[in-house]
Chains A and B, each alone.
Chain A
């Protein structure tokens, strides 16, 4: 049973550039959440996707956007990169049993993508 996978593992970008990170959820899961973990800090919630729509969003600017595909995989896009965007980006998948209003308690995390902005 494949767990959550993310690509790429590492990425180096220059300020002002754009980046796309990818996530495939655990088999059977339909909800994907993205978190940003800056060095020495706990993960911070960016947003969550369910049924190809953004369901919840944390306190992140519009430069951060996402997408979910019919196969439940997801992308995180960050435009106009800043030095402060350097972080480990974690994808978590869960199962929202019970429909759109359901709660997705148990979240399984991928290994993350380390983004460095120079």
Chain B
């Protein structure tokens, strides 16, 4: 079955601290993976994507993610979090057979000053 799991529903970090949001996927072929961010009441903004090649991908707003095939993971990282990063983050897998995105349940990030 094709699925995405985000184990952490809610994470709180202090401003300036590092961040890692976890994402695990289940897919029978080479996955195409995405991270989206959603601010309250807003749509989804694409942070970064992995299609192939270098397993460490850079995105916007200082985010990066590392694809690890052996662990079926695609964790999102940021070295120093800003208060404006508080939002909900979604990991997504592209299902080629259905031409659709499969989303995890999301991780809500809170940032303390």
Which residues of A does B touch, CB under 8 Å? 4, 6, 33, 35, 40-45, 48, 55-56, 58, 90, 92, 103-112, 114
Give chain B's interface secondary structure class: strand
Q: Is the CB of A105 within 8 A of B51?
A: yes
Q: Is the CB of B103 within 8 A of A43?
A: yes
Can you spell out 22 A-B residue pairs with CB atoms less than 8 angstroms apart? A4-B43, A6-B43, A42-B4, A42-B103, A42-B105, A43-B101, A43-B103, A45-B100, A48-B99, A56-B100, A58-B98, A90-B44, A105-B32, A105-B49, A106-B46, A109-B36, A109-B43, A110-B43, A111-B42, A111-B43, A112-B42, A114-B41
How many of chain B's residues have a CB under 8 angstroms from any CB in A? 24
Q: Is the CB of B90 within 8 A of A42?
A: yes
Q: Is the CB of B45 within 8 A of A109?
A: yes
Bound form: Cα–Cα A111–B41 in Å: 8
Q: Is the CB of B44 within 8 A of A104?
A: no
B 31-65 binary contact with A (CB < 8 Å = 1; else 0): 01000100001111110010100000000000000
- Find the A residue at minimum CB distance from B99: A56
Q: How far is the CB of A23 from chain B (nearest CB, A)?
A: 11
Q: Is the CB of B96 within 8 A of A41?
A: no
Q: How far is the CB of A22 from chain B (nearest CB, A)?
A: 14
Q: Is the CB of B99 within 8 A of A103?
A: yes
Q: Is the CB of B101 within 8 A of A45?
A: yes
Q: Is the CB of B100 within 8 A of A48?
A: yes
Bound form: Cα–Cα A106–B101 in Å: 9
Q: How far is the CB of A114 from chain B (nearest CB, A)?
A: 8
B94 interface neighbour in A48, A105, A110, Cβ under 8 Å: A105
Bound form: Cα–Cα A90–B43 in Å: 7
Q: How far is the CB of A103 from chain B (nearest CB, A)?
A: 6
Known: A48-B99, A55-B99, A90-B43. A41 touches B106 (CB 8 A): yes
